[in-house]
Structure 1
């Protein structure tokens, strides 16, 4: 770029003397942005176009409204102490380079800690330090590097869908041009000499040429950009053969028109681009529908306790929460909505939202944000707004919590597409070379037909559409998966491990007996209030048994995972848990599940639990035993061993007295032996085991089990359908493989006609998107048919 224009934004630099790295800049702002890019090896940003940055004068004063705190509060997704999070819609996101630049914002500005792009929705979610970077300056920074966000105060928010109509415009223009070019080509098709006079032939041909220029350079521009970026990154993506085919057709046709050799192939060219865009439009519509189903209809069974006006407590689903409701948040429970703290000590862990495991203390009257986890007893909150289900989906699928359990199936698809592209380019070159020596008039047609007919788009569509529809179907059956890769992992498992309490047992039908010294009113009051703060299945069952007592705010509360809980009110301290935890040393050999109680270090008695197993447990285990190794890992004693031995199939491993760390080590050991393990637990004590397993499923029974540790959430009422869900996952993999086979068969047949010169580019252009659409239809219908077999 010449020295009289700014290298970053393109403004005149005649009166500026700012030179850096032998480049001119109009101001220190542009120079600083370039320096940051240069220091962090991001200068290839300038390869996109000359002066891609926005000019400072264009944005001067444009974002002053972001100095208003009320406006900023409306736009922010999260705002607590130093950390702010916002999701910005950026229409200019169009390729992998955009994603790369925006996800490297932390290198451009140190105050940005994390940024993640959602390419489909063209938005970026940014976490930044509000003490060193204001929202206004963040927006100006984005604008300066060419990514101006669209901010509308009327409809801006996470629930709004910002519609990108560029594909519709490109499709419409390509369709208009295709129709006119076909019309102008009719005299050539039918050789109408009476009408096709010598003086009109050049005019009609030049009109076809003029129609094709905007179709190639506007409607088809994304194929060229994607292919260029891929080649520059040394990646052969699926757009390379498409872009090459379009370019060859355009150059060949233009040469024929310019030198008056023939009419060219502008009908094939515009038809190819029109049908390509039509296929992409169909894909976009279908996948956005699946995403809508995923975000808004596959509600997680997150049970939350609502406090009624009469003081009673009722468990409700999160999407039934309304503004003004009073909620009870227990220890280790997720806050599902933005709310105001009313009662209790709030110690909130926002790592779920920010990725930083630093808990913050909040006082009565403070605002709490959705996604935080309460770590210190029970609190009561007033709801500020109803739950945003897609926001919870986004949190659960946050990249911060992604693990490297296995390579995803979609990466295999990409690798197949890469080798497929290499193979097709080789076939095209060899075939063209052959025809150049035998019949040169067919060589170009053969080359373009091969590139068009053998596009691996159908391969690339198989996995996302199959997995997307399976996610939707499972969601309607109350089995909620974190992401598509869980489906593949579920299809690979060979060992299933179950927790006992709260997993294969049902808390609703559990019978409880108490033996020991009667508790005083104050002791019962403290016991009830202590149990109220815990989410453990035994605590919840016991809490329901003691529901006639009043509730007080405890002075102290602690929960020790796998051992018990303590609570203190005034001078009364309660301990509830295992015998060693409460200091009881004379435990008899009772084989039932027992919870012991002590007050002020004086042993009081024990609660004995008589388990009720979930409906269909025996049939489920007998079905699963045909294909999987089954294991019960329980933290309880062997009291239920005899009953389980009778209930469950032979050779089911039963291990008792297992601490959380024991379960974790058991899974690690068997994974080292080559096992692919599915862990089914309650989501609280089993968090480590769920995270370690290849697939972790948390059972939900009116309990908040929303946790990054689990890969799936299963409604307790559907527990006996687990075998069907696993079978459907395996069916999904078969459907993908069948769609691959169909795609290969189509390509082999199409290549035969293309190589032998029997297939014209226009027919190839029509057949190629039809094959992609047929694969989408096949996968959608197949998954729907498979899903109908679920109860």
Structure 2
């Protein structure tokens, strides 16, 4: 049941008392509009409503996480205010997913600002019946909500968020998707005001600069002091307004950020200047104050422009490692997912991922939406049905038409869902959080200590030392070094067809001591496999039937058979009732013929009568037509020639192992490739591979698993780092942490060397940042740096560290041999 009834029945709100206290919900100072409820003060009726909502739902812990952290409710929202959102056309435009009674929507909520907001929004299911899960992306200020639209409508959901102070910014599907560069109109205007005041106050102060006070009368001197004060007021209250607002929010939220010391320094300069001008004791520091604001704003603009140039975006075209088969004038062509446009016709096979919202045109679609919803129940679709991005085709070959543009940020967010994440091992992130937590407190303490000491030594330098310490300190470089280094690394790797889930994967990769390989599709190359059919000769129709069935699967053996039969000129026929047993075989009906293709054991288990003397090798794919055994395709694996050097180099540093489902063969060749110390295991089922990885971890090893994602998804997920090898297929393995193009597997050892180098880059960037702060604070505390110089140094320090991290990452890529000079 919705809690809106509770909200509307809130009548015991007493607004008669006027007490100067903070609102219990949002922290706003209560004056004339204050009111009490349950012994608590609220600034308005809206805050009292939200308090009731949380209290009735058992979410009072919200106020214990961060007191006064609620959002002030500017105005009440009627229940029918958002009723237009329930229109089917609007739903179709806003929802990410809409199947049966299951819907998913992503909202942009700018008012998300602290950990309490995250906690409250992720407990939305306790506030409203029908909400299943809500996950907050704090950096993007977005929340992804899964809900049952039969129990709660979208309009009710939006109204609830709005009444809590988290009104979403609704984004329509036909809006322009490219990320727009931020506009700096206001900050440029602030900069202009500060620059005007800075220049004029310096002009008025020229006599004082050059000791010419005796040339002008006392009246002129005091006049220019008051004029300078008047001109400085727009700088203090407009140009520096962002710093005052940020400091106020920090004080209200009981938080400490870098803006707080800056605001304290500005306040100290202005207070001292105001005192001197009013009392006639001197000119004050108005020129320094305006210059300080001017250079701070210059630094902020330059800093932001630098970040925009260096920053990475996971929506970058090459970032999502998915290729698809597009139908172009009757011909099939493999293209990157970034080339897909609305209206394109695509072919999906078993295991292929739906890259964008589509409509089924032809074929029997059986969609697995576990990648999107977490539920593995297959959904059967008919021609004309809507198919949503992130679904995985579990049936045969189908044809779809794209109806929405590809959102690579959405696909990437699916890849980064909690269900696919592994235990965090980010030591760098822990160090950053630990240092940043105490940085501001330490800076304020040092600034106060410097001021006190200088009051005894030289009172004239006390204010400058206090302000300089507050301004020069900059923890930004500490916080930005790792994200920008990782972001640059992800972009470089993406350009080299190595797609990494996130930066923490690189940090984990450099601690790996054991590397486990799958064989088929990983060390072997599908395109170069030699195929030979042994058995009763096949007619043209039978060849077409087998080729049509094989092309529905993405298994390397089926791809090899399909390629082999293509040379015979088979004509593709429609396939009915297609199904595949992973790692065992495929079956289906083509031209009214029941066809089985798979291993001998799988055939026997299905009741097929196989000859007594046949090979049971894992490289034999046996064929039955209408229940009669017709022969087998003998597939001779072609090992990738480029992996030999990689395995040899890696064997010197890591422990190697090979797991394969094939029968024991090519033992000597595999031993020569992997080295005599490697462990080689044959006839391994997916469960066996998973158990082997787990046993290694229990023995204390950090394991990297490399496979094709077909029969080893469990092992990929169990390992510390899982790498899926992709070879021109649209299959996507969310359990993997890295997806590498098959032709780049030769650089696997270089990838690991690069990850080790990345740790050194980030540690060096941390060292540079710490050294800057130590030197800067030391010189500032000794009175050797003016606030103006500090205002220039502060943004330059973070720009320097970030630029170093990005350039050093690129150099590390070239040093490891992973990237070329053009990337």
C-alpha contact 1:331 1:377 (8 A) present in aligned 2: yes
Alignment of 1:278-293 (within 5 A): 278-289=298-309
Deviations 1:532-591 (A, max 9, x none): 332211122112222343444444333222333333458744333322211169576787
Q: Is 1:220 the equivalent of 2:222? A: no
Aligned to 2:530: 511
Q: Distance in 1 between matches of 2:65 and 2:191?
A: 30
In the other structure, the counterpart of 1:369 is 388
CA separation of 1:247/1:411 partners in 2, compared to 1, >3 Å: closer, same or farther? Answer: farther
Quote the residue 1:173 is aligned against: 190
What is the TM-score with the length of structure 1 in the denominator?
Answer: 0.88
Residues of 1 paired with 2:252 and 2:37: CA distance?
Answer: 30
- Quick check: 416-425 or 716-725, which moved more? 416-425
Distance (whole Å) between structure 1 residues aligned to residue 757 and residue 740 of structure 2: 19
SS in 2 for 1:133: coil
Of 632, 642, 654, the residue aligned with 2:680 is: 654
Q: Note the C-alpha offset of 1:592.
A: 6.9
Structure-1 residue corresponding to 2:349: 330
| Partner-residue secondary structure (3-state), 2:197 | helix
Q: Does the CA-based 8 Å contact 1:596-1:607 persist in structure 2?
A: yes
Residue in 1 that maps onto 2:7: none
Segment of structure 1 superposing worse, 688-697 or 44-53: 44-53
Secondary structure, counterpart of 2:670 in structure 1: helix
CA deviation map 1:471-527 (0-9, x unaligned): 111111111111111121222222222211111111111101222334566655554
1:708 Cα deviation from its structure 2 partner = 1.5
Distance 2:686 2:373 in 1: 27
Aligned partner (choices 71, 94, 101) of residue 90 of structure 2: 71
CA gap of 1:557–1:89, structure 2 versus 1, over 3 A, is same
Classify 1:696/1:254 alpha carbon distance in 2 versus 1 (closer, same or farther; 3 Å).
farther
Matched residues in 1 for 2:420 and 2:545: separation? 37
Q: Which residue of 2 aligns with 1:3?
A: 15
Unaligned runs of 5+ in 1: none
CA shift for structure 1 position 224: 1.5
| 1:415 to 1:600, Cα distance in 2 relative to 1, 3 A | farther
Report 1:304-319 matches (<5 A).
304-307=324-327, 309-310=329-330, 313-319=332-338
1:363, distance to aligned residue in structure 2 (A): 1.8
Deviation at 1:326, TM superposition (A): 3.1
How far does the alpha carbon of each residue in 1:663-683 deviate from its partner, in whole angstroms, 9 at most, with x for none?
212222222233222221112
Q: Are positions 1:130 and 2:153 aligned together?
A: no
Q: Map Cα deviations across residues 313-349 of structure 1 (whole Å, 9 max, x no partner).
A: 4433323334443322222221112211133332222
User: Which residue number corresponds to residue 142 of structure 1?
Assistant: 161
What's 1:161 paired with?
A: 179
Match of 1:490 in 2: 509
CA distance in 2, matches of 1:2, 1:32: 13
Q: Deviations over 1:79-127 (max 9, x none)?
A: 2232333334445455666555544444443433344445555544433
Q: Give the CA deviation at 1:367.
A: 0.8
**CA spacing shift, 1:61–1:566, aligned 2, 3 Å:** closer
Match of 1:700 among 699, 712, 726: 726
Cα RMSD, aligned residues only: 3.7
Distance 1:675 1:85, change over 3 A: same
- The answer on whether the counterparts of 2:586 and 2:596 sit within 8 Å (CA) in structure 1 is yes
The answer to which of 509-518 and 33-42 deviates more is 33-42
User: Structure 1, residues 404-445: CA drift from partner, whole Å, max 9, x if none?
Assistant: 242363332222323444544444444444334444443333
Mean Cα deviation higher: 694-703 or 194-203 = 194-203
Summarize the alignment of residues 617-696 of structure 1 with structure 2, pairs less than 5 Å apart. Answer: 617-696=643-722
CA distance in 1, matches of 2:759, 2:323: 32
CA contact (8 A) 2:79 2:159 kept: no
Deviation larger for 712-721 or 79-88: 79-88
Moved more, 342-351 or 288-297: 288-297
Write the deviation string for residues 142-176 of structure 1: whole angstroms up to 9, x where unpaired: 3323334444769636x2435654x6524541552
Q: Per the alignment, in what secondary structure is the counterpart of residue 657 of structure 2?
A: strand
- The aligned counterpart of 2:595 is 574
Aligned to 2:796, the other structure's residue is in SS state helix
Given that 2:618 and 2:661 are in contact with CA atoms closer than 8 Å, whether structure 1 keeps it comes out as no
Relative distance call for 1:667 and 1:281 in structure 2 (3 A) is farther
Structure 2 equivalent of residue 561 of structure 1 = 582
Segment of structure 1 superposing worse, 177-186 or 330-339: 177-186
* Match runs of 1:440-479 below 5 Å: 440-479=459-498
Q: CA–CA distance in 1 between the matches of 2:241 and 2:252? A: 17
1:424 and 1:24, CA in 2 relative to 1: closer, same or farther beyond 3 A?
A: closer
- CA distance in 2 between counterparts of 1:337 and 1:22 reads 50
Which whole-Å CA distance do the structure 2 matches of 1:444 and 1:462 have between them? 32
The farther-off stretch of 405-414 and 753-762 is 405-414
- Secondary structure at the aligned position of 1:767 is classed as helix
Structure 1 residues 598, 153: CA separation in 2 closer, same or farther (over 3 Å shift)?
A: closer
Q: Distance in 2 between matches of 1:173 and 1:5?
A: 40
User: Is the Cα contact below 8 Å between 1:344 and 1:378 reproduced in 2?
Assistant: yes
| Closer/same/farther in 2, CA of residues 309 and 574 from structure 1, 3 Å limit | same
Contact 1:582–1:603 (Cα < 8 Å) also in 2:
no
The residue number in structure 1 matching 2:320 is 300
| Aligned pair partner of 1:200 in 223, 235, 239 | 223
On the 8 A contact 2:303/2:795 being kept in 1, the answer is: no
CA distance in 1, matches of 2:473, 2:71: 38
| SS of structure 1 residue aligned to 2:520 | coil
* 2:361 corresponds to 1:342: yes
Secondary structure at 1:736 match in 2: helix
Please report the TM-score for the alignment, with normalisation by the length of structure 2: 0.84
Is residue 209–residue 254 contact of structure 1 (8 Å, CA) maintained in 2?
A: no
Equivalent residues of 1:636, 1:656 under 8 A apart: yes
- Uncovered stretches (5+) of structure 2, i.e. residues with no partner: 1-12, 605-609
Residue 360 to residue 153, structure 1, CA distance change in 2 (3 Å): closer
**Are 2:623 and 1:597 aligned?**
yes
Corresponding residue for residue 52 of structure 1:
72
Say whether 1:417 aligns with 2:428: no
Say whether the 8 Å CA contact 2:355–2:390 is kept in structure 1: yes
Which whole-Å CA distance do the structure 2 matches of 1:552 and 1:582 have between them? Answer: 23
CA distance in 1, matches of 2:307, 2:594: 56
Whole-angstrom CA distance in 2 between matches of 1:368 and 1:44? 43
Residue 23 of structure 1 and its aligned partner are, at CA, apart by 7.4
